Protein backbone atom coordinates (compact mmCIF):
# COMPACT_ATOMS: atom_id res chain seq x y z
CA UNK A 1 0.00 0.00 0.00
CA UNK A 2 1.18 3.57 -0.64
CA UNK A 3 -0.08 7.10 -0.17
CA UNK A 4 0.77 9.17 -3.23
CA UNK A 5 2.35 12.59 -2.67
CA UNK A 6 3.38 15.33 -5.10
CA UNK A 7 7.08 14.42 -4.92
CA UNK A 8 6.23 11.01 -6.39
CA UNK A 9 4.76 12.57 -9.55
CA UNK A 10 6.63 13.84 -12.61
CA UNK A 11 4.25 15.55 -15.03
CA UNK A 12 4.90 16.66 -18.62
CA UNK A 13 7.97 14.45 -19.14
CA UNK A 14 9.48 13.40 -22.49
CA UNK A 15 11.32 10.25 -23.54
CA UNK A 16 12.45 9.03 -26.96
CA UNK A 17 11.94 5.36 -26.11
CA UNK A 18 11.12 2.86 -23.41
CA UNK A 19 14.70 2.53 -22.14
CA UNK A 20 14.99 6.28 -21.67
CA UNK A 21 11.72 6.33 -19.76
CA UNK A 22 12.78 3.48 -17.47
CA UNK A 23 16.15 5.14 -16.90
CA UNK A 24 14.37 8.30 -15.74
CA UNK A 25 12.25 6.27 -13.32
CA UNK A 26 15.30 4.47 -11.91
CA UNK A 27 17.12 7.77 -11.39
CA UNK A 28 14.11 9.15 -9.53
CA UNK A 29 14.26 6.11 -7.24
CA UNK A 30 17.92 6.78 -6.55
CA UNK A 31 17.36 10.50 -5.97
CA UNK A 32 14.70 9.71 -3.40
CA UNK A 33 16.86 7.11 -1.66
CA UNK A 34 14.56 4.20 -2.41
CA UNK A 35 17.08 2.02 -4.24
CA UNK A 36 20.80 1.53 -4.70
CA UNK A 37 22.74 1.85 -7.93
CA UNK A 38 22.15 -1.15 -10.16
CA UNK A 39 18.37 -1.31 -9.81
CA UNK A 40 18.07 0.08 -13.35
CA UNK A 41 19.64 -3.09 -14.72
CA UNK A 42 17.00 -5.13 -12.90
CA UNK A 43 14.21 -3.01 -14.38
CA UNK A 44 15.58 -3.37 -17.89
CA UNK A 45 16.07 -7.11 -17.40
CA UNK A 46 12.48 -7.45 -16.17
CA UNK A 47 11.29 -5.72 -19.32
CA UNK A 48 13.23 -8.20 -21.44
CA UNK A 49 11.47 -11.10 -19.72
CA UNK A 50 8.00 -9.75 -20.50
CA UNK A 51 6.46 -6.38 -21.20
CA UNK A 52 5.16 -4.46 -18.18
CA UNK A 53 2.52 -2.68 -20.24
CA UNK A 54 -0.88 -3.25 -18.59
CA UNK A 55 -3.31 -1.44 -20.84
CA UNK A 56 -5.08 1.95 -20.93
CA UNK A 57 -1.72 3.58 -21.67
CA UNK A 58 -0.20 2.40 -18.38
CA UNK A 59 3.12 0.57 -17.83
CA UNK A 60 4.59 -0.54 -14.50
CA UNK A 61 8.35 -1.14 -14.86
CA UNK A 62 9.93 -2.80 -11.82
CA UNK A 63 12.99 -4.86 -10.95
CA UNK A 64 13.62 -8.59 -10.98
CA UNK A 65 13.74 -10.91 -7.99
CA UNK A 66 17.54 -10.80 -8.25
CA UNK A 67 17.55 -7.04 -7.62
CA UNK A 68 15.16 -6.89 -4.67
CA UNK A 69 18.12 -6.65 -2.32
CA UNK A 70 18.89 -3.26 -3.89
CA UNK A 71 15.56 -1.82 -2.67
CA UNK A 72 16.02 0.20 0.51
CA UNK A 73 12.37 1.19 0.87
CA UNK A 74 9.22 0.28 -1.05
CA UNK A 75 7.84 3.14 -3.11
CA UNK A 76 6.66 4.40 -6.47
CA UNK A 77 7.65 7.09 -8.94
CA UNK A 78 5.10 8.08 -11.55
CA UNK A 79 6.06 9.66 -14.87
CA UNK A 80 3.53 11.20 -17.19
CA UNK A 81 4.45 11.28 -20.88
CA UNK A 82 1.72 13.32 -22.62
CA UNK A 83 3.16 12.51 -26.06
CA UNK A 84 3.44 8.83 -25.24
CA UNK A 85 6.31 6.33 -25.33
CA UNK A 86 6.24 3.23 -27.51
CA UNK A 87 6.37 0.34 -25.05
CA UNK A 88 5.77 -2.92 -26.87
CA UNK A 89 4.31 -3.81 -30.26
CA UNK A 90 1.69 -1.12 -30.89
CA UNK A 91 1.25 -0.22 -27.21
CA UNK A 92 1.86 3.39 -26.20
CA UNK A 93 2.48 4.28 -22.55
CA UNK A 94 1.36 7.68 -21.31
CA UNK A 95 1.63 6.84 -17.64
CA UNK A 96 4.70 4.98 -16.38
CA UNK A 97 4.42 3.84 -12.77
CA UNK A 98 7.80 2.66 -11.54
CA UNK A 99 7.65 0.29 -8.59
CA UNK A 100 10.46 -0.51 -6.15
CA UNK A 101 9.35 -3.29 -3.81
CA UNK A 102 11.30 -5.20 -1.17
CA UNK A 103 8.98 -8.20 -1.31
CA UNK A 104 5.54 -8.94 -2.76
CA UNK A 105 4.36 -5.47 -1.76
CA UNK A 106 4.05 -4.63 -5.46
CA UNK A 107 0.97 -6.87 -5.59
CA UNK A 108 -0.80 -4.58 -3.13
CA UNK A 109 0.23 -1.60 -5.22
CA UNK A 110 -1.20 -3.26 -8.31
CA UNK A 111 -4.52 -3.68 -6.54
CA UNK A 112 -4.63 0.07 -6.11
CA UNK A 113 -4.39 0.44 -9.88
CA UNK A 114 -7.45 -1.65 -10.71
CA UNK A 115 -9.76 1.34 -11.06
CA UNK A 116 -7.32 2.91 -13.55
CA UNK A 117 -7.10 -0.20 -15.68
CA UNK A 118 -10.86 -0.47 -15.80
CA UNK A 119 -11.62 3.18 -16.58
CA UNK A 120 -10.30 4.51 -19.85
CA UNK A 121 -11.61 8.02 -19.12
CA UNK A 122 -9.62 8.35 -15.88
CA UNK A 123 -6.46 7.02 -17.53
CA UNK A 124 -6.85 9.57 -20.32
CA UNK A 125 -7.27 12.43 -17.84
CA UNK A 126 -4.17 11.30 -15.92
CA UNK A 127 -2.19 11.42 -19.15
CA UNK A 128 -3.14 15.07 -19.74
CA UNK A 129 -3.61 16.83 -16.40
CA UNK A 130 -1.01 19.43 -15.45
CA UNK A 131 -2.09 19.84 -11.83
CA UNK A 132 -0.42 17.48 -9.29
CA UNK A 133 -3.34 17.60 -6.85
CA UNK A 134 -5.82 16.81 -9.61
CA UNK A 135 -3.55 13.94 -10.60
CA UNK A 136 -3.53 12.56 -7.06
CA UNK A 137 -7.32 12.82 -6.76
CA UNK A 138 -7.84 11.01 -10.07
CA UNK A 139 -5.19 8.42 -9.26
CA UNK A 140 -6.59 7.59 -5.84
CA UNK A 141 -10.15 7.42 -7.14
CA UNK A 142 -13.26 8.90 -5.57
CA UNK A 143 -13.48 8.94 -1.80
CA UNK A 144 -17.12 7.99 -2.25
CA UNK A 145 -17.56 5.63 -5.17
CA UNK A 146 -20.89 4.13 -6.15
CA UNK A 147 -19.14 0.75 -6.06
CA UNK A 148 -18.64 1.23 -2.30
CA UNK A 149 -22.38 1.55 -1.67
CA UNK A 150 -24.41 -1.59 -0.89
CA UNK A 151 -28.17 -1.14 -0.68
CA UNK A 152 -31.05 -3.47 0.20
CA UNK A 153 -28.79 -5.94 1.97
CA UNK A 154 -30.87 -8.87 3.24
CA UNK A 155 -29.60 -8.97 6.82
CA UNK A 156 -30.45 -8.09 10.40
CA UNK A 157 -26.82 -8.03 11.49
CA UNK A 158 -24.71 -4.97 12.24
CA UNK A 159 -21.62 -7.16 11.92
CA UNK A 160 -22.62 -8.25 8.41
CA UNK A 161 -23.11 -4.66 7.24
CA UNK A 162 -19.73 -3.69 8.68
CA UNK A 163 -18.04 -6.69 7.07
CA UNK A 164 -19.53 -5.80 3.67
CA UNK A 165 -18.18 -2.27 3.93
CA UNK A 166 -14.76 -3.45 5.08
CA UNK A 167 -14.56 -5.94 2.21
CA UNK A 168 -15.41 -3.23 -0.33
CA UNK A 169 -12.70 -0.97 1.06
CA UNK A 170 -10.16 -3.79 1.10
CA UNK A 171 -10.95 -4.71 -2.51
CA UNK A 172 -10.22 -1.10 -3.46
CA UNK A 173 -6.91 -1.27 -1.54
CA UNK A 174 -8.11 1.54 0.75
CA UNK A 175 -7.51 -0.62 3.85
CA UNK A 176 -5.61 -3.75 4.84
CA UNK A 177 -6.50 -6.80 6.90
CA UNK A 178 -5.55 -5.04 10.13
CA UNK A 179 -8.22 -2.42 9.44
CA UNK A 180 -10.80 -5.11 8.69
CA UNK A 181 -10.09 -6.92 11.96
CA UNK A 182 -10.16 -3.73 13.99
CA UNK A 183 -13.35 -2.28 12.52
CA UNK A 184 -15.26 -5.54 12.96
CA UNK A 185 -14.15 -5.86 16.56
CA UNK A 186 -14.82 -2.23 17.55
CA UNK A 187 -18.19 -0.66 18.38
CA UNK A 188 -19.78 1.69 15.85
CA UNK A 189 -20.79 5.27 16.64
CA UNK A 190 -24.50 6.24 16.34
CA UNK A 191 -25.03 9.49 14.43
CA UNK A 192 -28.83 9.48 14.68
CA UNK A 193 -31.73 8.29 12.51
CA UNK A 194 -30.38 4.76 12.71
CA UNK A 195 -27.14 5.70 10.93
CA UNK A 196 -23.95 4.26 12.41
CA UNK A 197 -20.33 5.03 11.59
CA UNK A 198 -17.16 3.05 12.25
CA UNK A 199 -13.49 3.40 11.41
CA UNK A 200 -10.07 2.20 12.53
CA UNK A 201 -6.93 4.04 13.57
CA UNK A 202 -4.79 1.40 11.85
CA UNK A 203 -4.60 -0.14 8.38
CA UNK A 204 -5.73 2.91 6.37
CA UNK A 205 -4.16 3.30 2.91
CA UNK A 206 -6.28 6.00 1.30
CA UNK A 207 -9.43 8.00 1.89
CA UNK A 208 -12.61 6.10 1.11
CA UNK A 209 -16.15 5.74 2.45
CA UNK A 210 -18.36 2.67 2.16
CA UNK A 211 -22.07 2.49 2.93
CA UNK A 212 -24.21 -0.60 3.62
CA UNK A 213 -27.98 -0.32 4.07
CA UNK A 214 -30.29 -3.20 4.99
CA UNK A 215 -33.60 -3.86 3.22
CA UNK A 216 -35.36 -2.85 6.40
CA UNK A 217 -34.15 -1.07 9.51
CA UNK A 218 -33.77 -3.45 12.45
CA UNK A 219 -33.06 -3.42 16.15
CA UNK A 220 -29.69 -4.31 17.65
CA UNK A 221 -29.37 -4.15 21.44
CA UNK A 222 -32.51 -1.99 21.48
CA UNK A 223 -30.98 0.44 18.98
CA UNK A 224 -32.10 1.04 15.43
CA UNK A 225 -29.79 0.10 12.56
CA UNK A 226 -30.77 1.70 9.25
CA UNK A 227 -27.37 2.19 7.61
CA UNK A 228 -23.70 1.65 8.41
CA UNK A 229 -20.95 3.93 7.10
CA UNK A 230 -17.34 2.73 7.27
CA UNK A 231 -14.55 5.27 6.82
CA UNK A 232 -10.93 4.83 5.73
CA UNK A 233 -8.90 7.97 6.32
CA UNK A 234 -5.29 9.00 5.75
CA UNK A 235 -5.66 12.80 5.94
CA UNK A 236 -8.09 15.63 6.56
CA UNK A 237 -9.59 15.50 3.05
CA UNK A 238 -12.17 13.03 4.28
CA UNK A 239 -13.41 15.41 6.99
CA UNK A 240 -15.56 17.51 4.64
CA UNK A 241 -17.46 14.41 3.62
CA UNK A 242 -17.96 13.45 7.25
CA UNK A 243 -19.42 16.90 7.90
CA UNK A 244 -21.85 16.26 5.05
CA UNK A 245 -22.81 13.01 6.74
CA UNK A 246 -23.98 14.97 9.77
CA UNK A 247 -26.36 17.08 7.67
CA UNK A 248 -30.05 16.04 8.08
CA UNK A 249 -30.69 16.28 4.33
CA UNK A 250 -27.70 14.07 3.59
CA UNK A 251 -28.92 11.57 6.17
CA UNK A 252 -32.34 11.47 4.50
CA UNK A 253 -30.70 10.63 1.16
CA UNK A 254 -28.52 8.04 2.86
CA UNK A 255 -31.62 6.29 4.19
CA UNK A 256 -33.84 6.58 1.10
CA UNK A 257 -31.78 7.34 -2.00
CA UNK A 258 -30.23 5.09 -4.62
CA UNK A 259 -26.46 4.55 -4.87
CA UNK A 260 -25.85 7.54 -7.15
CA UNK A 261 -27.90 9.81 -4.91
CA UNK A 262 -26.08 8.63 -1.79
CA UNK A 263 -22.75 9.20 -3.50
CA UNK A 264 -23.74 12.73 -4.55
CA UNK A 265 -25.13 13.64 -1.10
CA UNK A 266 -21.96 12.56 0.67
CA UNK A 267 -19.98 14.70 -1.77
CA UNK A 268 -22.02 17.70 -0.68
CA UNK A 269 -24.29 17.94 -3.72
CA UNK A 270 -27.96 18.89 -3.41
CA UNK A 271 -30.10 15.78 -3.81
CA UNK A 272 -33.85 15.35 -3.41
CA UNK A 273 -35.45 11.97 -2.75
CA UNK A 274 -39.13 11.11 -2.54
CA UNK A 275 -40.59 11.22 0.93
CA UNK A 276 -41.63 7.87 2.37
CA UNK A 277 -43.28 6.82 5.57
CA UNK A 278 -41.05 7.00 8.59
CA UNK A 279 -39.72 3.65 9.79
CA UNK A 280 -41.67 2.00 12.56
CA UNK A 281 -38.64 1.84 14.80
CA UNK A 282 -37.68 4.87 16.84
CA UNK A 283 -34.66 6.87 15.69
CA UNK A 284 -31.70 6.92 18.00
CA UNK A 285 -30.37 10.14 19.50
CA UNK A 286 -27.53 11.79 17.62
CA UNK A 287 -24.97 10.69 20.18
CA UNK A 288 -24.49 7.68 22.37
CA UNK A 289 -25.49 8.08 26.02
CA UNK A 290 -22.87 8.02 28.71
CA UNK A 291 -22.08 4.65 30.18
CA UNK A 292 -24.27 3.76 33.13
CA UNK A 293 -21.32 2.81 35.29
CA UNK A 294 -18.83 5.40 34.05
CA UNK A 295 -15.65 5.49 36.06
CA UNK A 296 -14.08 8.54 37.63
CA UNK A 297 -12.18 10.85 35.33
CA UNK A 298 -8.74 9.44 34.53
CA UNK A 299 -5.70 11.51 35.34
CA UNK A 300 -3.01 12.55 32.88
CA UNK A 301 -0.01 10.21 32.93
CA UNK A 302 3.57 11.42 33.50
CA UNK A 303 4.79 13.29 30.42
CA UNK A 304 1.27 14.35 29.48
CA UNK A 305 -0.27 17.80 29.77
CA UNK A 306 -3.92 18.34 30.58
CA UNK A 307 -6.32 21.25 30.15
CA UNK A 308 -10.10 21.62 30.45
CA UNK A 309 -12.21 24.12 28.49
CA UNK A 310 -15.90 25.05 28.57
CA UNK A 311 -17.77 24.93 25.25
CA UNK A 312 -19.53 28.24 24.61
CA UNK A 313 -21.30 27.44 21.36
CA UNK A 314 -25.06 27.92 21.62
CA UNK A 315 -25.80 24.60 19.94
CA UNK A 316 -22.80 22.74 21.28
CA UNK A 317 -20.31 20.89 19.09
CA UNK A 318 -22.39 20.17 16.02
CA UNK A 319 -20.79 19.57 12.63
CA UNK A 320 -19.28 22.96 11.80
CA UNK A 321 -17.62 23.88 15.14
CA UNK A 322 -16.44 20.27 15.49
CA UNK A 323 -14.73 20.53 12.09
CA UNK A 324 -13.09 23.81 13.15
CA UNK A 325 -11.85 22.17 16.35
CA UNK A 326 -10.46 19.18 14.43
CA UNK A 327 -8.60 21.48 12.03
CA UNK A 328 -7.00 23.23 14.98
CA UNK A 329 -5.99 19.96 16.67
CA UNK A 330 -4.47 18.59 13.47
CA UNK A 331 -2.00 21.48 13.33
CA UNK A 332 0.03 19.80 16.06
CA UNK A 333 2.24 16.73 16.08
CA UNK A 334 1.35 15.84 19.66
CA UNK A 335 -0.94 12.94 20.46
CA UNK A 336 -4.14 14.58 21.70
CA UNK A 337 -7.13 12.94 23.35
CA UNK A 338 -10.34 14.48 24.63
CA UNK A 339 -13.24 13.51 26.88
CA UNK A 340 -16.53 15.13 27.84
CA UNK A 341 -16.18 15.63 31.57
CA UNK A 342 -19.85 16.33 32.23
CA UNK A 343 -21.02 13.20 30.39
CA UNK A 344 -18.13 11.21 31.90
CA UNK A 345 -17.15 9.71 28.55
CA UNK A 346 -13.99 7.82 27.76
CA UNK A 347 -11.06 9.58 26.09
CA UNK A 348 -11.14 9.56 22.28
CA UNK A 349 -8.78 10.85 19.62
CA UNK A 350 -9.21 14.62 19.27
CA UNK A 351 -8.13 14.29 15.63
CA UNK A 352 -11.17 12.18 14.67
CA UNK A 353 -14.21 14.19 13.64
CA UNK A 354 -16.58 11.29 14.23
CA UNK A 355 -15.30 10.64 17.73
CA UNK A 356 -15.42 14.32 18.73
CA UNK A 357 -19.00 14.65 17.49
CA UNK A 358 -19.79 11.43 19.33
CA UNK A 359 -18.95 13.08 22.67
CA UNK A 360 -22.32 14.85 22.39
CA UNK A 361 -21.03 18.11 23.83
CA UNK A 362 -23.64 20.80 24.52
CA UNK A 363 -23.24 24.41 25.59
CA UNK A 364 -21.59 24.80 28.98
CA UNK A 365 -20.12 21.31 29.11
CA UNK A 366 -16.42 20.76 29.77
CA UNK A 367 -13.94 19.11 27.44
CA UNK A 368 -10.77 17.73 28.99
CA UNK A 369 -7.81 17.49 26.58
CA UNK A 370 -4.69 15.45 27.28
CA UNK A 371 -1.69 16.08 25.02
CA UNK A 372 1.65 14.32 24.79
CA UNK A 373 4.52 15.27 22.49
CA UNK A 374 6.99 18.00 21.64
CA UNK A 375 4.34 20.66 20.96
CA UNK A 376 1.81 19.51 23.60
CA UNK A 377 1.85 22.81 25.49
CA UNK A 378 1.43 24.81 22.30
CA UNK A 379 -1.41 22.50 21.22
CA UNK A 380 -3.42 22.97 24.41
CA UNK A 381 -2.96 26.72 24.19
CA UNK A 382 -4.17 26.80 20.59
CA UNK A 383 -7.14 24.55 21.34
CA UNK A 384 -8.17 26.72 24.27
CA UNK A 385 -7.98 29.88 22.17
CA UNK A 386 -10.05 28.28 19.41
CA UNK A 387 -12.75 27.13 21.84
CA UNK A 388 -12.88 30.48 23.61
CA UNK A 389 -13.18 32.22 20.23
CA UNK A 390 -16.31 30.19 19.45
CA UNK A 391 -14.93 27.71 16.92
CA UNK A 392 -15.93 29.80 13.92
CA UNK A 393 -19.39 30.77 15.18
> CA nearest 198: which of 180, 172, 216?
180
What are the chain's domains?
6-140 (3.40.930.10), 146-267 (3.40.930.10), 304-389 (3.30.1340.10)
The predicted-structure confidence for 339-349, as pLDDT tens digits, reads as follows: 989 888 888 88
The predicted-structure confidence for 56-110, as pLDDT tens digits, reads as follows: 899 999 998 889 999 999 889 999 999 999 998 889 999 999 999 887 666 656 6
pLDDT band at 270 (very low <50, low <70, confident <90, very high): confident
For residue 229, the cross-strand partners are: 197, 211
pLDDT value of residue 144:
79
Mean pLDDT of the chain: 83
The predicted-structure confidence for 340-393, as pLDDT tens digits, reads as follows: 898 888 888 888 776 787 777 888 999 999 999 989 999 999 999 999 999 877
Residue 371 near residue 380 (C-beta atoms within 8 A): yes
pLDDT value of residue 81:
97
Got the DSSP string for 44-72? HHHHHHS--EEETTEE--B--GGGGGGBS
For residues 259 and 168, give the distance between their C-alpha atoms in angstroms, rounded to a whole number: 14
pLDDT band at 263 (very low <50, low <70, confident <90, very high): confident
For residues 115 and 1, give the distance between their C-alpha atoms in angstroms, rounded to a whole number: 15
pLDDT band at 236 (very low <50, low <70, confident <90, very high): low
Q: Show Cβ contacts of residue 293 under 8 Å, excluding neighbours closer than 6 positions.
A: none
> CA nearest 8: which of 98, 76, 105?
76
* Catalytic center residues: 62, 318
Measuring CA to CA, how many Å separate 266 from each of 68, 144, 185, 256? Answer: 42, 7, 26, 13
For residues 55 and 124, give the distance between their C-alpha atoms in angstroms, rounded to a whole number: 12
pLDDT value of residue 289:
37
> CA nearest 230: which of 204, 256, 196, 264?
196
For residues 367 and 39, give the distance between their C-alpha atoms in angstroms, rounded to a whole number: 53
Whether residue 282 is predicted with pLDDT greater than 50 in this model: the reply is no
Q: Taking the CB of residue 14, how many other CB atoms lie within 10 A of it?
A: 12
Whether residue 161 is predicted with pLDDT greater than 80 in this model: the reply is yes
The predicted-structure confidence for 122-137, as pLDDT tens digits, reads as follows: 888 899 999 887 787 7
For residues 13 and 112, give the distance between their C-alpha atoms in angstroms, rounded to a whole number: 23
pLDDT value of residue 294:
35
Residue 210 near residue 230 (C-beta atoms within 8 A): yes
Quote the Cα angle for 365-369-370, to 5°: 155
Displacement of CA 319 from its chain's centroid (Å): 19
pLDDT value of residue 38:
92
For residues 300 and 370, give the distance between their C-alpha atoms in angstroms, rounded to a whole number: 7
Amino acid sequence: MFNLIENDIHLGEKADDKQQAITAVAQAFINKGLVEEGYLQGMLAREQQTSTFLGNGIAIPHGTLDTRHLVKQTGVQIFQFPNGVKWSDDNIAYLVIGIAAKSDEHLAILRQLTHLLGDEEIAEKLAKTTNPQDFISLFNGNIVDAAFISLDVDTNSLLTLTAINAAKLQEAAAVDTQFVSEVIASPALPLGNGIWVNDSAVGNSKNAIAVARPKQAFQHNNKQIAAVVTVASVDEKVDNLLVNLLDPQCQQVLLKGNAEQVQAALQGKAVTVAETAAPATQAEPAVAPAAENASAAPQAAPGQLEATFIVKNEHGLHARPSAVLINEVKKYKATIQVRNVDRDTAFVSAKSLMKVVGLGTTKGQRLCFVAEGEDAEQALKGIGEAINAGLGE
